[in-house]
Structure 1
Amino acid sequence: MTNAFVINGGKPLKGEITPQGAKNEALQVISAVLLTEEKVTISNIPDIKDVNKLIELLGDMGVIVERVNEHTYTFEAKDINQDFFLSEAFKSKGGGLRGSIMIVGPLLARFGKASIPKPGGDKIGRRRLDTHFLGFEKLGAQFNYNPENGFFNVDASNLQGTYILLDEASVTGTANVVMAAVLAKGTTTIYNAACEPYLQQLCKMLSRMGAKISGIGSNLLTIEGVERLGGTEHRLLPDMIEIGSFIGLAAMTGSEITIKDVQYKELGMIPDVFKRLGIKLELRGDDIFIPAQEHYEIETFIDGSIMTIADAPWPGFTPDLLSIVLVVAIQAKGSVLIHQKMFESRLFFVDKLLDMGAQIILCDPHRATVIGLDNQVKLRGISMTSPDIRAGVSLLIAALSAQGQSTIYNIEQIERGYQHIDTRLKALGADITRI
């Protein structure tokens, strides 16, 4: 029997909530500890499955991992067991975790070879890994796929800096290539690099370890290879997807919520996109305060045409928050077109929202038009299953705003990305029970 959440919705919430450390940053910076034999301390690590699995994987490889407190770990990658990468244990663990691809760049850079099982993870359309592999190949790595054991074997004994134009501005792809390039011989230039705050954080951490990286925050990175890297301390940013989720939650449930310590300057256009939906929010120190509001009205474009919200590479709007925006628009006044450009099956959870009474037209796998109910009609609670991390939280927000009882199954998907979400929402007054 898998776990499920039972939610009695329709109640306003109130209080303070602190976002967890950024999941997507964690997967990158924790992988980066493999670049040095010295001790690296990382704090504000979220306690979630995907991150814990990666930490466990590092331990299995021979990294000395110590948990200093709930959210701080030290890592010392002195002796790495190279044979582990061809083991069944690595295949089952590495194969089930998308983040495991992130260890390839550092391993290639430091040891000149790696093996990696074909990866798995979220079902949100085809997430290609070509960007990673093409980047490594340009640096001089040789790949051989072994269909019998399902592993890629990589030889990178002679990585050389080069000019790389990435075929897409993939965050993990950029991070992986950066980690491989910091120890390569000569200068590497990466154009069309992703420039998300997570990636800026990784580059700043590598710089403190002794890497020479310029262009941080832009889409053109220049990396001068160095001989070796040393230890450092690093603190993760708060998770911007959680922050966006909580803004949406406050609006949809008509709640007064304060989101603590958000690192506002790193949120890019996220607050503005929620303001476009008519949500009031104010910055108090480094906290976002959202007042309880009965109505929020979606802006139109200046010529009066319907608002479109689409995802784009940073500093554009992150695709991870489009599902949240879609749900929040259900109770807004006005209409909005949600255009999910990057992934082709992330909008398929709207059928559950339709069952709850939402007015949504799914135009195609990438676009949905939401016709806001303006709180004239409440959603009704239903039983549903979470298809992926972000849709799961969107359904959770919908359930908290709905009248009656909802049950969400497959909550493992939610918990891959959000730590102790039920206890944290209970603290705000949510009626949510785990069964």
Structure 2
Amino acid sequence: MATFHIEGGHKLAGELHPQGAKNEALEVICATLLTTEQVTISNIPEIRDVLKLIEILTELGVKVNRVQKGMYLFQADQLDMHYLQSEQFAQQATSLRGSIMIIGPLLARFGQAYIPQPGGDKIGRRRLDTHFVGLQKLGAQFNYDPDKHFYHVETEKLLGAYMLLDEASVTGTANILMAATLAEGTTTIYNAACEPYLQQLSNMLVAMGAKIDGIGSNLLRIEGVSELKGCKHTILPDMIEVGSFIGLAAMTSSEITIPNAGVNHLGIIPDSFKRLGIQLNIQGDSIHIPAQDSYEIETFIDGSIMTIADAPWPGLTPDLLSIFLVIATQAKGSVLIHQKMFESRLFFVDKLIDMGAQIILCDPHRATVIGQNKKHQLKGTTMSSPDIRAGVALLIAALSAQGESKIYNIEQIDRGYEGIDQRLNSIGAKIERVD
């Protein structure tokens, strides 16, 4: 287990280049299972979760070649389906929630797939019903072994169908979409997730020969084809990392530039930061955040307290609410943070309260933050990272705090952020990784 030792209170200055989007990488890497031909993917973030998925595919029989940093070749022409029933697969897939997205492609190509109960962040209940109900609509049979905690899906033939998803699940939509590309007939998915990750996956599938209409909307129509071919695909910059860097600049009163930020794919994220009083200068595809000694939270038109809440795209992504909450602790004014999608994601606020933040945890989904306008600096403390996003939020808090902090369980941060300590140290941070 590794620990971050952080010396807080230093201003940072320079450029931070965002890595490739983790969530997109997990989807498009799974999509390589849909074809026997070679697929080239660039701008892959070499982080724990992504590398673990690549390892799973390698054990499954996919030929993987790392051409250079971030660029990989995949060819799934000879797969060992027996591996899916092995103890090794059970151990690997259980620790990676994104592994659930291999079942759609495997079901479409081979008529069956196995997956253990996936793991991942401890952020509350994350059900899989949308995945399996959607696949059942296409003609799959679903079985669950409660003793081994293993799911098994199988089919003689997938047939296109109309479906209304019970929730706009990103990974659920991705799984169903990938399976539908090789199903016979037309599939219509209503209430589909439409995040940039899904748009990128859809564009990649079209490049492979899939027929998909409605990309970017919540109504997708897929005309099944008999086979898909290889392609080349480049992953977008990670919007969550871009948002994290904006929050870092605000909290540490630092001047930071984020080049190649994928501005056209950020949706309402920039405007949401502006509602907290953070200045952003967008120049082409770069974002410049000037050093601010103070930033003030807006109120609603009637003067009531501002609410920042997550929502399915094009609403605000839930992965950034931890960052918004931390930023608000040093703003002028108050805000209600409403985390609608995951009931345990706000429980890290007790660590911020220990650091001197004024936060009222109303319930598992809502927290009221009373900003201190940087008049009372947070104080360093010892804490543990509960999940990827909260871990980075705590790291940002520690970098802005007075004194030294320690963050344990930083493997959670490494799952989503590549070499974050090295990159931040390069612009003036004081972070030491201790094994």
Q: Residues 325-404 of structure 1 correspond to what in structure 2 (within 5 A)?
A: 325-404=324-403
- Report the equivalent of 2:251: 252
Query: Residue 409 of structure 1 aligns to which amino acid in structure 2?
Result: Y
Partners of 1:20 and 1:331 lie apart in 2 by 27
Contact 1:32/1:179 (8 A) holds in 2: yes
Partners of 1:286 and 1:96 lie apart in 2 by 35
Partners of 1:328 and 1:171 lie apart in 2 by 27
What SS class does the counterpart of residue 297 from structure 1 fall into?
coil
Deviation at 1:100, TM superposition (A): 0.8
Deviation at 1:14, TM superposition (A): 0.3
Q: Residues 207-356 of structure 1 correspond to what in structure 2 (within 5 A)?
A: 207-356=206-355
Partners of 2:381 and 2:151 lie apart in 1 by 44
Contact 1:6/1:406 (8 A) holds in 2: yes
Partners of 1:284 and 1:271 lie apart in 2 by 13
Partners of 2:117 and 2:347 lie apart in 1 by 26
Partners of 1:263 and 1:148 lie apart in 2 by 45
Deviation at 1:145, TM superposition (A): 1.6
Determine if the alignment matches structure 1 residue 20 to structure 2 residue 19. yes
Gaps of 5+ in 2: none
- Report the equivalent of 2:145: 146
What SS class does the counterpart of residue 172 from structure 2 fall into?
helix
- Report the equivalent of 2:172: 173
Task: Compute the TM-score of the two structures, normalised by the length of structure 2.
Answer: 0.99
- Report the equivalent of 1:89: 88
Task: Compute the TM-score of the two structures, normalised by the length of structure 1.
Answer: 0.99
Partners of 2:148 and 2:357 lie apart in 1 by 47
- Report the equivalent of 2:37: 38
Partners of 2:328 and 2:91 lie apart in 1 by 40
Gaps of 5+ in 1: none
Deviation at 1:146, TM superposition (A): 2.4
Contact 1:111/1:157 (8 A) holds in 2: no
Partners of 1:309 and 1:147 lie apart in 2 by 39
- Report the equivalent of 2:160: 161
1:270-304 C-alpha deviation (Å, 9 max, x unpaired): 00000000000101221100000100000111111
Q: When the two structures are aligned, how many residues end up with a matched partner?
A: 434
Contact 1:97/1:119 (8 A) holds in 2: yes
What SS class does the counterpart of residue 11 from structure 1 fall into?
coil
- Report the equivalent of 1:103: 102
- Report the equivalent of 1:131: 130
1:62-97 C-alpha deviation (Å, 9 max, x unpaired): 110000001000000000111111111111111111
Determine if the alignment matches structure 1 residue 405 to structure 2 residue 397. no
What SS class does the counterpart of residue 126 from structure 1 fall into?
coil
Deviation at 1:152, TM superposition (A): 1.7
1:339-392 C-alpha deviation (Å, 9 max, x unpaired): 000000000000000000001111111000110000111000000011110000
Moved more, 88-97 or 22-31: 88-97
Query: Residue 279 of structure 1 aligns to which amino acid in structure 2?
Result: I
- Report the equivalent of 2:8: 9
Contact 1:18/1:261 (8 A) holds in 2: yes
Partners of 1:373 and 1:399 lie apart in 2 by 16
Deviation at 1:148, TM superposition (A): 4.0
Contact 1:20/1:238 (8 A) holds in 2: yes
Contact 1:141/1:156 (8 A) holds in 2: yes
Partners of 2:406 and 2:279 lie apart in 1 by 30
- Report the equivalent of 2:117: 118
Partners of 2:49 and 2:196 lie apart in 1 by 20
1:18-47 C-alpha deviation (Å, 9 max, x unpaired): 000000000000000000000000000001
Partners of 2:8 and 2:298 lie apart in 1 by 27
Partners of 2:401 and 2:148 lie apart in 1 by 48
Q: Residues 37-56 of structure 1 correspond to what in structure 2 (within 5 A)?
A: 37-56=36-55
What SS class does the counterpart of residue 223 from structure 1 fall into?
strand
Deviation at 1:204, TM superposition (A): 0.3
What SS class does the counterpart of residue 406 from structure 2 fall into?
strand
Partners of 1:266 and 1:122 lie apart in 2 by 25
Deviation at 1:150, TM superposition (A): 3.0
Query: Residue 253 of structure 1 aligns to which amino acid in structure 2?
Result: T
Deviation at 1:149, TM superposition (A): 3.3
Partners of 2:44 and 2:155 lie apart in 1 by 31
Contact 1:331/1:375 (8 A) holds in 2: yes
Q: Residues 174-213 of structure 1 correspond to what in structure 2 (within 5 A)?
A: 174-213=173-212
Partners of 1:65 and 1:426 lie apart in 2 by 32
Query: Residue 114 of structure 1 aligns to which amino acid in structure 2?
Result: A
What SS class does the counterpart of residue 398 from structure 1 fall into?
helix
Moved more, 92-101 or 123-132: 92-101
What SS class does the counterpart of residue 36 from structure 2 fall into?
coil
Partners of 2:93 and 2:156 lie apart in 1 by 23
